């Protein structure tokens, strides 16, 4: 099939996204070193948020230990690089596989526990991993480990890592999109709507929940591994339970259950602190106020806010009207 | 005479101190439409939940195609050809009509997580096929133009139709309908009866309908079983049952 | 382990358990009546403790009134948060509402950091005098006794409230089933407001009990919040006495865990216990069974 025909088969929306990422890639390539570094971090956090979105956004499963998967990815990469001397890409891939297994393990409580209890268990998992790497000399203890990746970071002054990060984020979006429009994605959403009903249609609840966790863990781990490669260091404090809360917030702020929501949310949690750095101590307060405003006034997240804004500009009223039945006399349900 | 498709004998079920079902007998013959009526709280939905293996009865036998169904699990129902609708519509609110109906095909289509993720030709082919079947199921209920509409934006009557389409898209052998007429106006009820009869003809399924609306069953149901306070109090044709004094007594105050 | 050490460990466990129980109660109350997991539960307590120690304690008022004022402020902010953040904008689902409390937590934390973060930690004067009491050779600190006394009275007060008052009964009804409660004529909104008020007060009181013992810093309540959530889960969110027992158990397990095993493995140890409990009783130790409705 010729390139032209292949391109023509891509749906319009996908074309817009690809174009946007193309422009983004250019912007990163041409910008100064520090802005590119921030953009790279944005892509990395987006990837992680995309992973969490599959579990939290599609499956409505309260996973509050996502930072733990990033930790496994980062530390796994660090250990493979420093102790086993594997090449960087292999290290990250291996860490991803390890995290997938961990993810499935963490998914096991999700089968029987709901909401609140599950949130606590997953959060406790995050804390446990954090304490573990903090108190183990093999992983560098409280100080962490330095990675010898200076050569990697120096390539094109960080442009290689930027390219890789962007491509990984796009891949993550691709995976997320596939899940969304597939049988598995529908099954996940049915499980979120009503587990018993999902079962009655033959949906394997256990399989789908574990698959969701495995996938989320893999994406989170690759994100963590990349973080290690980009910053050149893994330290426990970077992967504290606060990180889980951060990614959780990113998913919710961006618009949970939506494709591009995580990318927007990651932008928020990366950009706001960066932009307000000048205001020093006020920075966190400004972030908190914006955070509170967005999630309170826009339950559908930034994506929902933008869509509502676009609709308003296009002349429609707040939401498309419900369809009405022809005859309005009803029997009591 | 061939044995009934579905046969419940002496089913008893209690939740703590509440007796939901007390020695219930129900027999549905192949190809028939069987009504299950009774006042609120009679145990009709509980009976359906027993058949669907959502709850386990304390005693009694449940046979489907002459085989014990009590040992089956809820997720095995589709492969056995049993499908149902739910009284409190259980749809994915923010998903499209088509996506909801596709849930009904989940067990009937192969799928692999890897296939789907990588979107290779085989995965896409299966998906396309499934969508065609689902669209076809939307025809009898008149929802083809709304295939991509999120179900939250439909009227109550239309959402009931989505539930129906989801239930029979997999061409079940036995269809269980839980209060399909609730919340519908008389036009919609008539339309519903026509649709059920039409689809039954093309698929050839056996139907068990729970309703408290006896009129709906006239001209449609072959038999009716009446439940009251967990007990079967009458069985027969809709006309006979309508005139049965015990049934009338159970329904005093409920005009239909 | 000799008897004295065991007893000391047990007492320490019960004291921290008391904190977990009270906070866990506040959290369970809010969760059951407004279906929100209140992340900000601890921070409001920290805020009001800062206000008490740094400003209110300088006012010409008897200490008891100062305490009550600080608690009242916390209760007030808590109710205000409920009204503006949750009630005024009902658009989101339970998850979204919970995230709002997360944002609130971030906001309150940032406020305490901004005003007082630079010079922390501060010391807070204890509510009780230093020193021990000797009971048959075993030393029990005054502030341990005082804490247990206050926690006990608060627990008792809540028990009386729930069991014997109309408001308490209304709260339990809403906690069991808000929809049915409102059909029975209970003003669910008013009850929710009362619940948030009480929860805010509890959080403040617990913070004020903790502050003199650890140092008063912006992350005063951080270690306690997760434990409070755990206590709530262990006890089974539907049973308030269960939460109390859950909290005490948690405190004891933790205390013995860190003495027997290692202080570093305290967190993982507690996690394993939590996991084991939930494995066998997914709804908590004391929960009544709630089947899903179809």
> Where are chain A's structural domains?
34-238
CB B53 within 8 A of CB B77: yes
The values of phi and psi at residue C63, to 5°, are: -55, -40
Q: Which residue of B has its CA nearest to C292?
A: B54
pLDDT at A326: 39
CB A232 within 8 A of CB A149: yes
CA-to-CA distance for B234 and B245, rounded, in angstroms? 10
pLDDT at B80: 94
| Res. A7 pLDDT band, cuts 50 70 90 | low
pLDDT at A327: 38
Nearest to A264, CA basis, from A279, A254, A255, A274: A254
pLDDT at A317: 57
For tokens 């909801």, the residue is B100
pLDDT at C219 over 70: yes
Collapsing DSSP to helix, strand or coil, C140 comes out as strand
Mean pLDDT of C236-241: 77
Strands B223-228 and B33-37: parallel
Q: Is A175 on the interface with B (CB under 8 A)?
A: yes
Mean pLDDT of A48-62: 95
Buried b (16+ CB within 10 A) or exposed e, B183-199: bbbeebbebbbebbeeb
Domain-embedded: residue C101: yes
Q: Is C261 on the interface with A (CB under 8 A)?
A: no
pLDDT at A220: 96
pLDDT per position as a tens digit, A298-312:
888 899 899 888 888
CB A76 within 8 A of CB A221: yes
The values of phi and psi at residue B166, to 5°, are: -65, -35
Domain count for chain C, please give it: 1
Q: Do C89 and A296 touch (CB under 8 A)?
A: yes
| Res. C167 pLDDT band, cuts 50 70 90 | confident
Comparing A301-315, C23-37, C122-136, the range with the smallest average pLDDT is C122-136
Mean pLDDT of B170-196: 90
pLDDT at C238 over 80: no
Q: Do B86 and C294 touch (CB under 8 A)?
A: yes
pLDDT at C230 over 70: yes
| Res. B125 pLDDT band, cuts 50 70 90 | confident
CA-to-CA distance for B223 and B213, rounded, in angstroms? 14
Q: Which two tokens stand for residue B112?
A: 């692999």
Query: Which of B104, B142, B155, B213 is the best residue to mutate to test the A interface, defined by the most A CB atoms within 10 Å of its own CB?
Result: B155
pLDDT at A332: 38
pLDDT at B49: 93
pLDDT at A193: 93
pLDDT at B179: 92
Domain range B1-81+172-256, CATH class: alpha beta
Task: Give the number of other Cβ atoms within 10 Å of residue A102's Cβ.
Answer: 24
pLDDT at C22 over 80: yes
pLDDT at B25: 92
For tokens 């596989």, the residue is A97
Among A312-321, B78-87, C24-33, the range of highest mean pLDDT: B78-87
| Res. B27 pLDDT band, cuts 50 70 90 | very high
pLDDT at A322: 54
Residues forming CATH 3.40.50.300 domain(s) in chain B: 1-81+172-256
Q: Which two tokens stand for residue A240?
A: 């504290």
pLDDT at B196 over 80: yes
CA-to-CA distance for C190 and C209, rounded, in angstroms? 29
CA–CA distances in Å: residue C47 to residues A35, A217, C85, C117, C193 = 36, 36, 18, 12, 20
CA-to-CA distance for C259 and B95, rounded, in angstroms? 53
Least Cα separation, residue C84 to chain A (angstroms): 9
* B236 beta partners: B224
pLDDT per position as a tens digit, A120-140:
889 888 988 998 898 888 888
Domain-embedded: residue C70: yes
Mean pLDDT of C93-99: 84
DSSP state of B108: G
CA-to-CA distance for C17 and B167, rounded, in angstroms? 51
Q: Which two tokens stand for residue B140?
A: 């009898």
Q: Which helix (H) or strand (E) holds B234?
A: strand B231-236
Comparing A28-42, B161-175, C56-70, the range with the smallest average pLDDT is C56-70
Q: Do C293 and B88 touch (CB under 8 A)?
A: yes
Q: Which chain C residues have a beta carbon less than 8 Å from that of A297?
A: 89
Q: Which residue of B has its CA nearest to A173?
A: B117
pLDDT at C294 over 70: no
Handedness of CA B86, B89, B93, B99 (dihedral sign): positive
| Res. B68 pLDDT band, cuts 50 70 90 | very high
DSSP state of C59: S
**A-contacting residues in B 103-122 (Cβ below 8 Å):** 103-104, 106-107, 109, 111, 113, 116-119
Q: Give the pTM.
A: 0.88
Q: Which two tokens stand for residue A9?
A: 């088969």
pLDDT per position as a tens digit, B93-114:
989 999 999 999 999 887 667 7
Among A100-104, B185-189, C87-91, the range of highest mean pLDDT: A100-104
Query: Which percentage of chain C shows pLDDT scores above 90?
Result: 18
Collapsing DSSP to helix, strand or coil, C3 comes out as helix
Chain centre distance of CA C71: 14
CB C106 within 8 A of CB C114: no
**C-contacting residues in A 269-308 (Cβ below 8 Å):** 281-282, 284-285, 287-289, 291-292, 295-297, 299
Query: Which percentage of chain A shows pLDDT scores above 70?
Result: 91
* A233 beta partners: A146
Q: Which chain C residues have a beta carbon less than 8 Å from that of A258?
A: none
Nearest to C236, CA basis, from C13, C23, C14, C24: C24
| Res. A4 pLDDT band, cuts 50 70 90 | low
CA-to-CA distance for C265 and C222, rounded, in angstroms? 18
pLDDT at A316: 65
Sequence length of chain B is 256
Mean pLDDT of A46-66: 95
CA-to-CA distance for C42 and C279, rounded, in angstroms? 28
Mean pLDDT of B196-204: 87
Q: Which chain B residues have a beta carbon less than 8 Å from that of A219?
A: none
CA-to-CA distance for A184 and C72, rounded, in angstroms? 51
Q: Which of A109, A112, A285 sits opposite C110 (nearest CB)?
A: A285
Domain-embedded: residue C231: no
DSSP state of B180: T
CB C146 within 8 A of CB C128: yes
CB C28 within 8 A of CB C243: yes
pLDDT at B251 over 80: no
CA-to-CA distance for A116 and A110, rounded, in angstroms? 11
Task: Give the number of other Cβ atoms within 10 Å of residue A270's Cβ.
Answer: 21
CA-to-CA distance for A317 and A53, rounded, in angstroms? 29
Q: Do B187 and A182 touch (CB under 8 A)?
A: no
Collapsing DSSP to helix, strand or coil, C152 comes out as helix
CA-to-CA distance for A227 and A73, rounded, in angstroms? 9
Mean pLDDT of chain A: 87
Q: Which residue of B has its CA nearest to A325?
A: B155
Nearest to C236, CA basis, from C184, C203, C277, C273: C277
Q: Which chain C residues have a beta carbon less than 8 Å from that of A296?
A: 85, 89, 100, 103
pLDDT at A277: 76
CA–CA distances in Å: residue A186 to residues A176, A262, C55, C147 = 12, 19, 56, 53
CB A249 within 8 A of CB A239: no
pLDDT at C292 over 50: no
pLDDT at A57: 93
CB A40 within 8 A of CB A162: yes
Q: Which chain C residues have a beta carbon less than 8 Å from that of B88?
A: 293-294
Q: Which chain C residues have a beta carbon less than 8 Å from that of B90?
A: 294
pLDDT per position as a tens digit, A82-93:
888 888 889 889
DSSP state of C56: G
Q: Which of C85, C271, C282 sits opposite A124 (nearest CB)?
A: C271
Query: Which percentage of chain B shows pLDDT scores above 70?
Result: 92
Query: Which percentage of chain C shows pLDDT scores above 70?
Result: 95
Mean pLDDT of B58-81: 92
pLDDT at B249: 81
Q: Which of B106, B127, B155 sits opposite A325 (nearest CB)?
A: B155
pLDDT per position as a tens digit, C175-200:
777 778 888 888 888 888 999 999 99
Domain-embedded: residue C181: yes
Name the H helices within chain A.
3-8, 12-30, 33-53, 66-82, 88-112, 115-134, 150-154, 159-181, 183-193, 195-200, 205-231, 241-254, 261-275, 282-297, 301-314
Q: Is B190 on the interface with A (CB under 8 A)?
A: no
| Res. C227 pLDDT band, cuts 50 70 90 | confident
Collapsing DSSP to helix, strand or coil, B168 comes out as helix
pLDDT at C74: 93
Q: Which chain B residues have a beta carbon less than 8 Å from that of C294?
A: 45, 49, 54, 86, 88, 90
Q: Do C100 and A296 touch (CB under 8 A)?
A: yes
Neighbours of chain A (3+ CB pairs under 8 A): B, C
pLDDT at B116: 66
pLDDT at C282 over 80: no
Q: Which chain B residues have a beta carbon less than 8 Å from that of A190?
A: 92, 103, 106
Sequence length of chain C is 294
Strands B59-64 and B6-15: antiparallel
Least Cα separation, residue B122 to chain A (angstroms): 13
């Amino acid at each position: 099939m010729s390139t032209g025909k292949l391109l023509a088969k891509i749906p319009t929306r996908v074309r817009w996204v690809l174009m946007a990422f193309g422009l983004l890639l250019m912007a990163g390539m041409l910008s100064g070193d520090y802005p590119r570094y921030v953009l790279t971090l944005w892509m990395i956090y987006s990837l992680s948020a995309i992973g969490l979105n599959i579990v939290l956004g599609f499956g409505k499963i309260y996973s509050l230990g996502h930072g733990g998967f990033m930790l496994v990815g980062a530390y796994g990469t660090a250990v493979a690089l420093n102790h086993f001397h594997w090449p960087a890409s292999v290290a990250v891939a291996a860490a991803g596989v390890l995290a997938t297994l961990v993810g499935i393990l963490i998914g096991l409580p999700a089968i029987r526990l709901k909401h609140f209890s599950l949130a606590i268990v997953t959060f406790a998992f995050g804390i446990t991993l954090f304490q573990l790497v903090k108190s183990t000399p093999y992983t560098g203890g409280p100080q962490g480990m330095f990675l010898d990746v200076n050569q990697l970071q120096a390539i094109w002054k960080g442009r290689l890592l930027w390219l890789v990060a962007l491509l990984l984020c796009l891949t993550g979006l691709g995976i997320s999109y596939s899940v969304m429009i597939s049988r598995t994605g529908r099954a996940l959403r049915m499980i979120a709507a009503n587990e018993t009903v999902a079962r009655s249609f033959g949906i394997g609840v256990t399989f789908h929940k574990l698959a969701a966790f495995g996938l989320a863990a893999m994406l989170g781990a690759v994100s963590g591994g990349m973080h290690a490669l980009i910053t050149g260091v893994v330290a426990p404090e970077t992967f504290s339970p606060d990180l889980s809360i951060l990614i959780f917030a990113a998913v919710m702020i961006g618009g949970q259950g939506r494709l591009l929501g995580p990318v927007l949310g990651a932008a928020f949690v990366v950009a706001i602190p960066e932009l307000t750095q000048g205001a020093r101590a006020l920075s966190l307060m400004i972030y908190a106020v914006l955070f509170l405003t967005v999630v309170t006034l826009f339950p559908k997240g930034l994506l929902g806010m933008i869509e509502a804004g676009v609709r308003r500009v296009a002349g429609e009223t707040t939401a498309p009207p419900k369809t009405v039945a022809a005859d309005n006399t009803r029997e009591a349900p | 005479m061939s044995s009934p498709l579905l046969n419940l004998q002496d089913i008893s079920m209690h939740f703590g101190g509440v007796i939901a079902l007390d020695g219930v007998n129900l027999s549905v013959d192949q190809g028939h439409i069987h009504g299950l009526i009774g006042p609120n709280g009679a145990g009709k939905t509980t009976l359906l939940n027993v058949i669907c293996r959502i709850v386990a009865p304390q005693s009694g036998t449940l046979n489907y195609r002459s085989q014990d169904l009590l040992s089956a699990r809820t997720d095995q129902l589709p492969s056995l050809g049993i499908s149902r609708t739910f009284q409190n519509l259980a749809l994915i609110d923010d998903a499209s009509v088509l996506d909801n109906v596709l849930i009904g095909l989940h067990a009937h289509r192969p799928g692999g997580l890897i296939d789907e993720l990588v979107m290779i030709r085989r995965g896409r082919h299966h998906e396309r096929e499934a969508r065609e079947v689902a669209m076809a199921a939307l025809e009898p209920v008149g929802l083809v133009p709304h295939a991509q509409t999120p179900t939250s934006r439909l009227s109550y009557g239309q959402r009931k139709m989505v539930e129906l389409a989801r239930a029979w898209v997999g061409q079940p052998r036995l269809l269980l309908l839980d209060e399909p007429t609730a919340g519908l106006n008389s036009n919609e009820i008539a339309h519903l009866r026509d649709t059920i009869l039409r689809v039954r003809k093309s698929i050839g399924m056996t139907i068990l309908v729970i309703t408290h609306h006896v009129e709906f069953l006239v001209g449609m149901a072959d038999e009716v079983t009446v439940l009251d306070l967990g007990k079967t109090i009458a069985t027969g044709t809709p006309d006979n049952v309508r005139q049965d004094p015990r049934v009338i007594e159970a329904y005093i105050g409920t005009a239909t | 382990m000799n008897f004295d050490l065991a007893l000391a460990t047990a007492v320490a466990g019960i004291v921290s358990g008391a904190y977990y129980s009270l906070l866990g109660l506040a959290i369970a109350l809010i969760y059951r009546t407004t279906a929100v997991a209140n992340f900000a539960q601890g921070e409001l307590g920290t805020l009001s403790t800062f206000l008490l120690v740094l400003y209110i304690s300088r006012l010409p008022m008897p200490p008891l009134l100062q305490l009550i004022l600080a608690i009242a402020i916390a209760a007030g902010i808590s109710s205000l948060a409920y009204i503006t953040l949750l009630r005024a904008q009902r658009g989101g689902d339970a998850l979204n509402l919970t995230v709002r409390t997360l944002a609130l937590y971030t906001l309150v934390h940032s406020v305490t950091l901004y005003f007082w973060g630079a010079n922390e930690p501060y010391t807070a004067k204890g509510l009780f005098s230093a020193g021990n009491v000797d009971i048959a050779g075993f030393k029990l600190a005054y502030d341990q006794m005082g804490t247990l006394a206050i926690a006990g009275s608060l627990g008792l007060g809540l028990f009386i409230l729930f069991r014997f008052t109309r408001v308490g009964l209304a709260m339990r009804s809403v906690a069991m089933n808000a929809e049915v409660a409102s059909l029975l004529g209970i003003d669910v909104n008013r009850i929710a407001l009362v619940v948030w008020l009480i929860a805010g007060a509890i959080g403040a009181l617990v913070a004020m009990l903790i502050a003199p013992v650890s140092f008063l810093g912006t992350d005063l309540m951080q270690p306690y919040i997760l434990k409070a959530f755990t206590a709530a889960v262990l006890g089974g969110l539907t049973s308030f006495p269960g939460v109390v027992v859950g909290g005490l158990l948690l405190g004891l397990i933790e205390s013995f865990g860190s003495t027997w095993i290692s202080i570093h493995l305290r967190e993982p140890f507690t996690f394993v216990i939590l996991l084991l409990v939930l494995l066998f009783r997914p709804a908590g130790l004391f929960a009544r069974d709630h089947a899903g409705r179809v």
